[in-house]
């Protein structure tokens, strides 16, 4: 028995020393960086938590404990450095050797394939070039009629809530609107059966929630392990079922694309330089054009980008809109100021919003950014270094996983005084000018930052404006009562977004206050 114990001990020590030698550059850096204690084989035990939000809280705790310096941790055999200061974040996000997304995104590939969010660098560069046309400013301005139409439908749906004084959860109304909008503006497609739409949205939630739980299981980062795991539970079947709606969408759009081509009047030397019929080229048109003209852009590539767009284009905007409306319901003075700005732009008319109107809504822009500061959609993201990267005080070796948390950086008191207070003035021109650019990273940053940032801000401003010019929003919830969870990869409020609405008094707040004062 003693010989067995002795032999096992020798083997374990040999493995340990070999591993230490192989990873000596990481081990040397770990010995210099501040951070919690790490143990052989298991790594930093304090980072293992049963929930994703628990892991983010640990990252935040480490940032505070170590004065916002880079912190080194081991998750099993994987070495991560958590970077919080804007100066270091800028170095990482702008470095051409830090564009790979990292191991954490490998699980998301089972849902999104290798779309823009999860693709390796070479594929990402190519896909971004193909897709970028659909996100340029001139194209986005052509989308206003679609946004206005979808938002009017939302307002009509919300009117049914006026008859009850009981709070209702905004989520279903908002996510239905954002999903319908992204389908129309990006793919010129309408899901006519509500049941199919909500089945898809529910599957998205179920699958992504399962994948978020698996983030804390590093043994699943290997493809073979994950393949076995997903086939042993419902995840495998759900991943197949979730593709049904996107595949149907793509099939119909391919048929329509061929019809468009047959009526094409070329105004250039090739199809790409021409408009498809009389309609501008949508996101889906860009994909189908690439699929037809580039043998390396496969049907799977089209599917991956469509699912990624449906996932990111509806959920992210919808979540921020719900948080923003809830913040305005809690802070009536801020809601009044936003409405006054809308009134100054369009008066009490019901005409459609225009790009010129949106340009005037500067304070609403601040409100949305403050919402994203307090409730960033992605609480944490990672990069995998393809070469050494020098930060302010340390050199991170090739292969290091870098963790960046908007949730943590946005809560740093030296960047945002009183960070737990909702204060849109954090984004006044003066305050923005006095802060480092990378102290706000709700849309990530650098070359691999969010391609849809302008789309998202425009979409959110239009929806919030349409709701506020028709209704005033109210809630009994207080800001300290709000608790969040990391559900399906995004931040969510526990308990939903309960509000009540009333028909909007179209007068600006200063007139309402004057009339109220004269009546006393």
30-43 pLDDT, tens per residue? Answer: 778 887 777 665 66
* Residues 145-180: tens digit of each pLDDT: 999 999 999 999 999 999 888 999 999 999 999 999
Determine, yes or no, domain membership for 24.
no
Determine, yes or no, domain membership for 8.
no
Determine, yes or no, domain membership for 364.
yes
For residue 45, give both structure tokens. 């035990």
Determine, yes or no, domain membership for 324.
yes
Please check the confidence at residue 112 and state whether its pLDDT lies above 70: yes
Integer Cα distance of 352 and 438 in angstroms: 35
Determine, yes or no, domain membership for 504.
yes
Query: How many Å is the Cα radius of gyration of the chain?
Result: 25
- What was the pLDDT predicted at 28? 80
Q: Using the 8-state DSSP alphabet, how is residue 353 labeled? A: P
Determine, yes or no, domain membership for 20.
no
For the chain, the domain total comes to: 1
Please check the confidence at residue 265 and state whether its pLDDT lies above 60: no
Integer Cα distance of 72 and 403 in angstroms: 10
User: Residue with structure tokens 């079922």?
Assistant: 241
User: Residue with structure tokens 């919402």?
Assistant: 371
Determine, yes or no, domain membership for 7.
no
Domain that holds residue 181: 33-519
Q: What is the mean pLDDT of residues 44-52?
A: 59
Per-residue pLDDT band for 258 (boundaries 50, 70, 90) equals confident
CATH number of residue 145's parent domain: 1.10.630.10
User: Residue with structure tokens 């005409």?
Assistant: 351
> Which of 9-13, 77-81, 270-274 shows the lowest per-residue confidence on average (mean pLDDT)?
270-274
- What was the pLDDT predicted at 93? 96
Q: What is the mean pLDDT of residues 258-277?
A: 55
**Beta strand pairing call for 168-169 and 498-503:** antiparallel
Please check the confidence at residue 385 and state whether its pLDDT lies above 80: yes
* Residues 208-217: tens digit of each pLDDT: 777 776 666 6
Average pLDDT, the chain: 85
> Which of 143-147, 298-302, 486-490 shows the lowest per-residue confidence on average (mean pLDDT)?
486-490
DSSP letters for 264-300: ----SSSGGGS-BTTBPPPHHHHHHHHHHH-TTS-HH
| 435-436-440-443 Cα dihedral, nearest 10 degrees | 140
User: Residue with structure tokens 């804007």?
Assistant: 86
Integer Cα distance of 501 and 472 in angstroms: 6
Determine, yes or no, domain membership for 4.
no
DSSP letters for 155-212: HHHHGGGGG--S-EESHHHHHHHHHHHHHHHHH------HHHHHHHHHHHHHHHHHHH
- What was the pLDDT predicted at 278? 41
**Model pTM score:** 0.88
Please check the confidence at residue 261 and state whether its pLDDT lies above 80: no
Nearest CA to 316 out of 188, 190, 492, 194 is that of 492
* Contact status, residue 485 vs residue 519, Cβ threshold 8 Å: no
């Amino acid at each position: 028995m003693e010989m067995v114990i002795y032999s096992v001990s020798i083997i374990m020590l040999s493995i340990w020393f070999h591993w230490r030698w192989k990873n000596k550059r990481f081990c040397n850096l770990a010995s210099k960086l501040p951070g919690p204690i790490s143990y052989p084989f298991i790594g930093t035990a304090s980072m293992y938590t049963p929930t994703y939000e628990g892991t983010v809280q640990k990252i935040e705790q480490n940032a505070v404990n170590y004065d916002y310096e880079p912190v080194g941790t081991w998750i099993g055999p994987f070495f991560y450095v958590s970077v919080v200061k804007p100066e270091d974040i800028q170095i990482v996000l702008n470095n051409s050797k830090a564009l790979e997304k990292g191991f954490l995104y490998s699980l998301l590939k089972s849902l999104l394939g290798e779309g823009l969010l999860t693709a390796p660098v070479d594929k990402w560069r190519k896909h971004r070039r193909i897709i970028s046309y659909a996100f340029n400013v001139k194209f986005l301005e052509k989308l206003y009629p679609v946004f206005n139409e979808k938002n009017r439908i939302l307002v009509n749906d919300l009117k049914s809530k006026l008859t009850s004084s009981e709070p209702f959860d905004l989520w279903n109304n908002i996510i239905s609107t954002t999903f319908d909008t992204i389908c129309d503006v990006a793919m010129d497609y309408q899901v006519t059966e509500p049941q199919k739409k909500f089945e898809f949205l529910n599957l998205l939630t179920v699958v992504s929630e399962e994948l978020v739980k698996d983030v804390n299981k590093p043994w699943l980062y290997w493809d073979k392990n994950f393949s076995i795991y997903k086939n042993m539970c419902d995840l495998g079947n759900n991943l197949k079922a979730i593709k049904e709606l996107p595949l149907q969408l793509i099939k119909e759009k391919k048929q329509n694309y061929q019809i468009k081509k047959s009526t094409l009047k070329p105004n250039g030397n090739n199809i790409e330089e021409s408009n498809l019929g009389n309609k501008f080229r949508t996101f889906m048109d860009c994909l189908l054009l690439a699929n037809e003209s580039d043998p390396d852009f496969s049907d799977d590539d089209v599917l991956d980008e469509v699912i990624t767009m449906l996932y990111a284009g509806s959920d992210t905007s919808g979540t921020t809109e719900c948080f923003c409306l809830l913040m305005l319901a809690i802070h009536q003075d801020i809601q009044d100021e936003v409405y006054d700005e809308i009134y100054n732009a369009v008066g009490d008319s019901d005409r459609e919003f225009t790009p010129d109107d949106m340009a005037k809504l500067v304070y609403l822009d601040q409100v949305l950014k403050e919402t994203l500061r307090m409730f960033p959609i992605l609480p944490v993201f990672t990069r995998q270094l393809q070469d050494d990267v020098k930060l302010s005080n340390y050199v991170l070796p090739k292969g290091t996983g870098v963790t960046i948390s908007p949730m943590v950086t946005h809560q740093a008191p030296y960047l945002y005084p009183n960070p737990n207070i909702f204060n849109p003035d954090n984004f006044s021109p003066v305050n923005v000018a006095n802060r480092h650019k990378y102290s706000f990273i709700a849309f990530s940053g650098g070359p691999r930052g969010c391609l849809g940032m302008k789309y998202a801000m425009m979409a959110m401003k239009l929806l919030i404006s349409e709701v506020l010019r028709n209704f005033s929003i109210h809630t009994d919830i207080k800001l300290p009562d709000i608790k969040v969870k990391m559900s399906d990869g995004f931040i969510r409020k526990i308990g939903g977004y309960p509000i009540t609405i009333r028909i909007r008094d179209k007068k600006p707040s200063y007139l309402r206050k004057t009339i109220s004062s004269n009546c006393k």
